[in-house]
Structure 1
């Protein structure tokens, strides 16, 4: 009887230790799932993307391996579903002799119906190596020097001719991917040349403004060219934003 009483704490410790080990594995799995969830956040958006684009973006995220891609476009049918493999680590120094690391696979869906911070679905890892994707083509170069040379110069006290500015912009030999916008306001004319961005990196854009006594062409700062900052707008061309602090 005495021997059983002495063994009881050891048995309790062993059972608790196993429980904590499972808990550490569960925490490691949660950590791996969080990496997949953040990948979904990176891919979230209403912009239409091809499977190649989605796969390339996902595979460039640290800690994410893309194992399978299903679907052709984020706007077709149910969109695109990725199977990604991530890893997570947890450690409880009281019970774990060393950190517990797991590798898990999750399904991440990208479509207009996707929800922000949507939980990825646990799936079995498919056989085969991770997939690789070709990088997207480089965006067309914006004609900074050409626009600067061609925009009209108006003397102080003069009047800016919006039609002339529009003719200059229309005469530029621009790639079809470059969007243009011209707008007049407050006695000056603003010009925007922009390329659609991916929603995460700074957008490529070029601004111009013709005012009596000054013609300017510039690229907004990196911060201002991020999504939602308003740097790549014709409004910024007309009324230039102050530099970020």
Structure 2
């Protein structure tokens, strides 16, 4: 090889590599990167119940699909808090100086449309994401369905007392649950979304004639007890008592909380 040939070859390879990197790098700039990170960090925690929940959170405050749009929603249900549970592909548009008043233009910036994929586990957005990716050809915005309302309906309180009072003296746990399902009123329909509320989770526990029941949904916990030979009671325990790591919200915890003074 002639003198200088090796240096020329290395320079050519470096230039070619730079060209390939430039050509293959997905569209985007500092503004779109910053917007994508802000959205992903904001919606990462508290965790969403599913991909639609993350998408609804992402669209809050971003109503104009010209500037921000969700393109794909993927669910990956898992009980492992470290594994991906959902992912979003979304599009961010930076208008550059095209929409700025001429008097405020110090220099011209072209409009940029960029796409990002963000994955989420129990703790939030994963792997330092979101990652800039190529926008799919012909992709159209996806609007997630409205969320069903969660919570325990108010009329469950009196229904708990009535159902517990009507139980036989020594019911079986399965009989208590069956009585709850048969006697509780239907969940209401949300006037705004026209969707029924999410059915609350029910649980029952029987011990030496004492009966404890709960209905839980959306962070609310309704507890009911009927002590052996006693009067049926129902109440909403304070959140500090029913949260994970404390008594929790279960039929057994209802009996335990019945004998615990409420926090001051």
TM-score, structure 1 as length reference: 0.54
Partner of 2:225: 209
Aligned partners of 2:242 and 2:249 also within 8 Å:
yes
- How many residues align? The count is 189
Shift of 1:130: 8.2
| Counterparts of 1:236 and 1:78, CA distance in 2 | 30
Distance 2:233 2:204 in 1: 14
Contact 1:85/1:125 (<8 A) preserved:
no
What are the superposed Cα offsets for residues 195-237 of structure 1, whole Å, 9 maximum, x if unpaired? Answer: 3xxxxxx523321101133321012224445555544222321
For residue 118 of structure 2, give the secondary structure of its aligned residue in structure 1: strand
| Counterpart residue number, 2:156 | 143
Question: For the Cα contact (< 8 Å) 2:53–2:147, is it kept in 1?
Answer: yes
State the secondary structure of the residue aligned to 2:146: coil
Give the alignment's TM-score, normalised by structure 2: 0.51
Give the equivalent residue in structure 2 for 1:92: none
CA 1:31–1:170 in structure 2 vs 1: closer, same or farther (change >3 Å)?
A: closer
Aligned counterpart in structure 2 of residue 75 of structure 1, from 57, 60, 77: 77
Instruction: Tell me whether 1:163 sits opposite 2:163 in the alignment.
Output: no
**What SS does structure 2 have at the residue aligned with 1:109?**
strand
| Equivalent residues of 1:179, 1:194 under 8 A apart | yes
1:108 aligns with 118
After superposition, the Cα gap between the structure-2 partners of 1:243 and 1:106, relative to the gap in structure 1 and judged at 3 Å, is farther
Structure 1 residue runs without a partner (length 5+): 1-25, 88-103, 196-201
> Equivalents in 1 of 2:139, 2:202: separation in Å?
45
Contact 1:192-1:232 within 8 A present in 2 as well? yes
